[in-house]
Amino acid sequence: MAQTELRRRLTTLDAAFLYFEKPKEPLHGGSCSIYEGRISREEVIQLLSTRLDLLPRYRQKVVFPPFGVAHLTWEDDPDFDIRNHIEELTLPAPGDDRVLSEGGGRLSAPMLDRTRPLWKLIVLHGRPDGNTAVILLIHHAMVDGVSGIDLTMVMHDLKPKIEPLASPTISWQPQPIPDTLTLLQDAVRDQLTDTVQWWTNESFRLLRPTELMERMRSLTSNFINSMPTLWQPAPRTPFNKPLSGERQFAWTEFPFNKIRSIRSMLGGTDNDVVLAVIAGGLGRYLRKHGYPTKGVQLRAMCPVSMRRPDQRGALGNLVSMMLAPLYVGITDPVERLRAEHSAMERLKDQDQAGALYDMTTLADRIPPAWQAFAGQLPAPNTLLNTVSTNVPGPQIPLYLAHKGRFFSSPAIVTGCPPAWCLRSVMPAQAGIQALCPV
């Protein structure tokens, strides 16, 4: 994983995942992976203990500045103990996929402890095949889907048996958390610095007419292309209801080469095929429960990474989104795929992801205290019906604790009711497509 300087203060987007989090709407994500054979908690602890120097953020916790003057900061946890973040449990009999689905959902439902670094790993035994399930939970304030993959690569090896890494010669010494007055001083300084920098950039842009006109053209185009969708409420469905605190994993398996074959014969991308499958499944579900679907287009928020190649290894969130239509009323699968492909190509041509990314940066000018307050206000969801995210899995065989071969990993997206997850059955092509009603 590329090493980059860690930003101490959270960005507006990173902080939003903490401001908007509620007990019944946790905003951590992660994975539930299956490994060949038995892997113990002690083996995982020993492995990660030798590699945490590569993951300094995972020994830091969030600290709120006084009076909400600025966004939170990441500070070393003086009481960090890796054993507080790794649990080991045994699934009740028979320990099959249904038990994993229900038990894993319960384990993932609570919010992560904010007094500690925002991640947790649970080793699960009791599978009838003797294999080990590992649930990894990471708060969205720490990572997005792409940077979360970097953790996966640090945890795993390319061979089943290698020489274990030596323990660091110099033990980690946490930096003390600043006192309240220092936290306030740092927050005021950072906020003033950001404000002055913004006003300076905007003022000097007035002296560059070409740059100013290009920016105005871009903002105007983004506004015109995006506002009609943002102003139009999404269709009302059973998914747009108040959330309970219950969670459950659910997934279905498709050979990845079958997805590729459909794409090759009918056109479109892998994502277009998966969106068409999701739309077909949701359409059947709605019709079965008495909801008419003729002419109905649900709306799925699809995260889009804005991470440049030189930002690989940087933690935090560098994402935008696309609001993809799901043609649940088209029962013919070929016609539905063509409709999905046409719609996604249109959104890409309009650069909807870039437009919405530019618009979200306007939130940087809103005082952090206001953002934190607004995040806890009840607000009905009228924009979306679902969230669909695609996180590329490993393209090569991986091994955990020098022995457990990685099989597959259904995605977890929390903050939603039970999720439908599509995963590849090919370990070397373990692409993940997850869907959650919101």
Q: pLDDT tens digits, residue range 220-269?
A: 766 666 666 677 888 888 888 877 888 888 887 778 888 889 999 999 99
What's the pLDDT at 71? Answer: 95
- pLDDT tens digits, residue range 380-430? 777 888 888 877 666 777 888 766 666 655 444 443 333 333 332 333 333
Rounded CA separation 420/300 (Å): 13
pLDDT exceeds cutoff 60 at 3: no
Mean confidence (pLDDT) of the chain: 81
What's the pLDDT at 115? Answer: 96
Q: Which two tokens stand for residue 229?
A: 């969708």
Q: Which residue has the higher pLDDT, 363 or 319?
A: 363
Q: Which residue has the higher pLDDT, 232 or 276?
A: 276
Contact predicate 150/39, CB 8 Å: no
Kindly indicate the confidence band of residue 4, based on its pLDDT and cuts at 50, 70 and 90: very low
Q: Which residue has the higher pLDDT, 305 or 49?
A: 49
pLDDT exceeds cutoff 90 at 363: no
Alpha-carbon distance values, 388 to 196, 277, 301, 321 (Å)? 38, 12, 6, 10
Q: Where are the beta strands (DSSP E) in 185-327?
A: 251-254, 298-305, 319-326
Poorest-pLDDT segment among 228-232, 282-286, 297-301, 381-385: 228-232
Measured from the Cβ of residue 238, the count of other Cβ atoms closer than 10 Å reads: 13
Q: Which fold has domain 1-438?
A: Chloramphenicol Acetyltransferase (3.30.559)
Contact predicate 274/326, CB 8 Å: no
Rounded CA separation 414/333 (Å): 29
Mean pLDDT value across residues 318-340: 90
Beta-ladder partners of 183: none
- pLDDT tens digits, residue range 119-169? 999 999 999 999 999 998 999 888 764 556 667 778 888 887 766 656 665
What's the pLDDT at 406? Answer: 63
Rounded CA separation 96/117 (Å): 31
To the question of pTM greater than 0.75 for the whole model, the response is yes
- pLDDT tens digits, residue range 50-83? 888 888 899 999 999 999 999 999 999 999 999 9
Measured from the Cβ of residue 199, the count of other Cβ atoms closer than 10 Å reads: 10
Beta-ladder partners of 30: 137, 412
What's the pLDDT at 246? Answer: 85
What's the pLDDT at 432? Answer: 32
Sign of CA dihedral 84, 317, 27, 71: positive
Mean pLDDT value across residues 296-318: 70
Contact predicate 330/286, CB 8 Å: no
Alpha-carbon distance values, 367 to 24, 29, 37, 185, 374 (Å)? 26, 27, 51, 16, 11
Rounded CA separation 396/394 (Å): 6
What's the pLDDT at 405? Answer: 63
Poorest-pLDDT segment among 74-83, 298-307, 353-362: 353-362
Q: Which of 145-154, 317-326, 370-379 has the highest mean pLDDT?
A: 370-379
Q: Which residue has the higher pLDDT, 377 or 421?
A: 377
Segments in 232-365 forming alpha helices (H): 256-266, 270-288, 333-349, 352-360
Q: How would you label 21-59 residue by residue, b for 16+ Cβ within 10 Å and e otherwise?
A: beeeebbbbbbbbbbbeebebebbbbbbeeebebbebbb
Q: Which residue has the higher pLDDT, 171 or 139?
A: 139
Name the residue type at position 406: F
